[in-house]
């Protein structure tokens, strides 16, 4: 709930003002009642406890100038309007001319005084309209309103354009092109659900809930949950920048689901290692084998250079940051990954993701592996293999470069054999 109090102070030239200026000062107080606080508002106005309110005060000063230095041949000069809001000043020429001599008189001619009074009333109405529409009151927005007769509304499309402009700047640094494309995918689906030319206020909790249900009916929980998380980051940007007043995600609980972890077995890995493929497929098989022994994701494998490898305590290691998240990882290579390093001397082949997964299908068929092989399953294999062999989950977290332990704990659900082993160690 928003309350606006406008107090017009002064209607005569300011003492000490420059010659040829006439100033009208208006102070606007905007009081917003916090939605989470149960305070009351009486008929007389805002009540009891001022601590229960968030008060934002904005002051703006209006000054009219008529400079003799800008007189035309007829002795007329344009009247200028100076707008100062919270220290930011903007000038705008008014479609009105008069004699600077008449303008500077203590008792101005009626036509000049009427014009100034009319502009003062008009400006007060404009300020009230801007604030009530939820648009931040700045010198720029007020000047834009005076020039165009209104303020351009901030649409849902504008919100996404601004946010995606920032995302684009992160691509190749803290964001991969693949993740950026997923954001584009979510944007396209959301624009099918809502009119993108509507103002941001159209993004209500009901709209978000309906969109989420639509995604859940079409995709798995893990997919729909990831898409909603991306949409939520856009909405948060709008809230942080005062474009969205009420958080539409406030009552939405995103379920990312618990997907079953699938990977190959140790025997199936040995089958791949021992098989001789044609050269084009062999390169992909070698990179898959390397990832099974290092835990690196595809993009991290493709970014490797010989300088990334170091030997610590007799173990070949990789100390680097993940391409996707920027989180540091400390991978200790397993024997078959060391073999691949020696084969290529650290200069691994560069292959596209599309070609890689295509050739993995051939490997899957040739080796009669019942699991749908993708490159990321090699990362799963590394995580499960190290956990099954007694590496603490916190250490595996650092080896994989996970942001938090919950991501690594996801793998422990698949360790059925270790449950019995741990039980036997304690009670047998």
* DSSP per residue, 108-158: --HHHHHHHHHHHHHHHHHHHHHHHTT----HHHHHHHHHHSS----BHHH
**Tokens found for residue 386:** 């190290």
Residue linked to tokens 């705008």 = 92
Phi-psi region of 247 (alpha: psi -120 to 50; beta: other; left: phi over 0): beta
pLDDT digits (tens, 9 = 90+) for 60-70: 788 888 888 88
Q: How open is the CA angle 357-375-365, to the nearest 5 degrees?
A: 55
In this prediction, residue 164 has a pLDDT band, given cuts at 50, 70 and 90, of: very high
pLDDT digits (tens, 9 = 90+) for 386-420: 988 889 999 999 999 998 888 888 777 655 555 55
In this prediction, residue 46 has a pLDDT band, given cuts at 50, 70 and 90, of: very low
Q: Cβ(23)–Cβ(62) under 8 Å?
A: yes
Q: What is the pLDDT of residue 419?
A: 55
Q: Rounded CA gap, 232 and 173, in Å?
A: 22
pLDDT digits (tens, 9 = 90+) for 111-162: 999 998 898 888 888 888 777 766 677 777 777 777 766 666 689 999 999 9
Q: Cβ(290)–Cβ(337) under 8 Å?
A: yes
Q: Stretch 310-330: mean pLDDT, rounded?
A: 90
pLDDT digits (tens, 9 = 90+) for 337-394: 999 999 999 999 999 888 898 999 999 999 999 989 999 999 999 999 998 888 999 9
Q: What is the pLDDT of residue 4?
A: 42
Cβ count within 10 A of residue 264: 23
Q: Cβ(235)–Cβ(247) under 8 Å?
A: yes
Q: What is the pLDDT of residue 65?
A: 87
Q: Do the strands 77-85 and 88-98 form a parallel or antiparallel pair, or are they unpaired? A: antiparallel
Kindly give the interhelix angle for 156-170 and 221-240, rounded to the nearest 10 degrees.
100
**Tokens found for residue 6:** 């406008």
Q: Rounded CA gap, 377 and 263, in Å?
A: 5
Q: Cβ(299)–Cβ(323) under 8 Å?
A: yes
Top mean pLDDT of 73-82, 166-175, 283-292 is at 283-292
Q: What is the pLDDT of residue 7?
A: 42
SS3 81: strand
Q: Rounded CA gap, 79 and 98, in Å?
A: 7
Q: Rounded CA gap, 60 and 325, in Å?
A: 45
Which candidate, 268, 263, 270, places its Cα nearest to that of 381? 263
Q: Rounded CA gap, 354 and 298, in Å?
A: 11
Q: What is the pLDDT of residue 231?
A: 96
Mean pLDDT for all residues in the chain: 81
User: In what helix (H) or strand (E) does residue 27 lie, and over which residues does it extend?
Assistant: strand 21-33
Q: Rounded CA gap, 133 and 251, in Å?
A: 25
Residue linked to tokens 């079409």 = 218
Q: What is the pLDDT of residue 407?
A: 80
Cβ count within 10 A of residue 212: 20
pLDDT digits (tens, 9 = 90+) for 170-199: 887 778 788 899 999 999 999 999 999 998
User: Higher model confidence: residue 109 or residue 40?
Assistant: 109
Q: What's the predicted TM-score (pTM) here?
A: 0.52
How far from chain centre, in Å, is Cα 218?
25
pLDDT digits (tens, 9 = 90+) for 5-17: 444 434 444 444 4
Alpha-carbon distances, residue 425 vs 389, 393, 394, 407 (angstroms): 14, 18, 21, 27
User: Higher model confidence: residue 320 or residue 55?
Assistant: 320
Q: What is the pLDDT of residue 227?
A: 95
Q: Stretch 10-27: mean pLDDT, rounded?
A: 44
In this prediction, residue 18 has a pLDDT band, given cuts at 50, 70 and 90, of: very low
In this prediction, residue 24 has a pLDDT band, given cuts at 50, 70 and 90, of: very low
Q: What is the pLDDT of residue 91?
A: 85
Q: H helices within 293-428, ranges in order?
A: 298-302, 335-344, 353-366, 376-388, 393-400, 405-412, 416-427
Q: Residue 277 class from Cβ within 10 Å (0-12 exposed, 13-18 middle, 19+ buried)?
A: middle
DSSP 350: P
Q: Stretch 36-48: mean pLDDT, rounded?
A: 36
SS3 67: coil
Q: Stretch 231-255: mean pLDDT, rounded?
A: 90
Q: Rounded CA gap, 343 and 409, in Å?
A: 34
């Amino acid at each position: 709930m928003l309350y606006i109090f406008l107090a017009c102070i002064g209607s005569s030239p300011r003492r000490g003002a420059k010659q040829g200026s006439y100033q009208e000062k208006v102070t606007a107080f905007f009081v917003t009642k916090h939605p989470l606080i149960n305070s009351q508002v009486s008929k007389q106005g805002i009540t009891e406890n001022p601590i229960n309110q968030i008060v934002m005060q904005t002051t703006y000063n209006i000054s009219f100038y008529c400079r003799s230095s800008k007189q035309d041949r007829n002795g007329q000069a344009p009247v200028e309007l100076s707008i100062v809001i919270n220290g930011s000043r903007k000038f705008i020429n008014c479609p009105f001319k008069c004699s600077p001599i008449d303008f500077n008189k203590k008792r101005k001619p009626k036509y000049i005084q009427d014009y100034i009074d009319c502009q003062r009333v008009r400006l007060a109405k404009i300020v009230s309209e801007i604030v009530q529409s939820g648009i931040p009151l700045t010198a720029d927005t007020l000047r834009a309103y005076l020039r165009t007769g209104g303020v351009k509304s901030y649409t849902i499309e504008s919100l996404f354009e601004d946010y995606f402009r920032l995302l684009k700047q992160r691509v190749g640094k803290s964001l991969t092109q693949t993740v950026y494309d997923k954001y584009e995918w979510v944007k396209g689906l959301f624009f099918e659900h809502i009119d993108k030319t509507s103002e941001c206020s159209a993004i209500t909790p009901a709209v978000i809930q309906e969109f989420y249900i639509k995604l859940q009916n079409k995709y798995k929980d893990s997919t729909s949950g990831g898409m909603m998380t991306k949409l939520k980051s856009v909405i948060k940007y709008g809230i942080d920048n005062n474009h969205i007043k009420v958080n539409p995600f406030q009552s939405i609980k995103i379920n990312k689901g618990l997907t079953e972890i699938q990977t190959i077995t140790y025997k199936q890995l040995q089958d791949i290692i021992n098989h001789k493929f044609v050269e084009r497929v062999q390169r992909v098989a070698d990179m898959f084998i390397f990832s099974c022994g290092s835990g690196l994701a595809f993009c991290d494998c493709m970014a490797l250079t010989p300088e990334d490898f170091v030997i610590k305590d007799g173990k070949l290691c990789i100390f680097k940051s993940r391409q996707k998240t920027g989180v540091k990882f400390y991978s200790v290579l397993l024997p078959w990954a060391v073999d691949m390093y020696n084969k290529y001397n650290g200069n691994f082949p560069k292959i596209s993701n599309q070609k890689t997964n295509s050739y993995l299908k051939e490997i899957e068929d040739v080796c009669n592996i019942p699991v749908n092989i993708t490159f990321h399953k090699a990362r799963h294999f590394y995580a499960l293999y190290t956990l099954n062999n007694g590496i603490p989950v916190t250490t595996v977290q650092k080896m994989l470069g996970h942001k938090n332990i919950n991501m690594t704990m996801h793998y422990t659900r698949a360790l059925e054999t270790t449950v019995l082993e741990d039980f036997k160690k304690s009670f047998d």
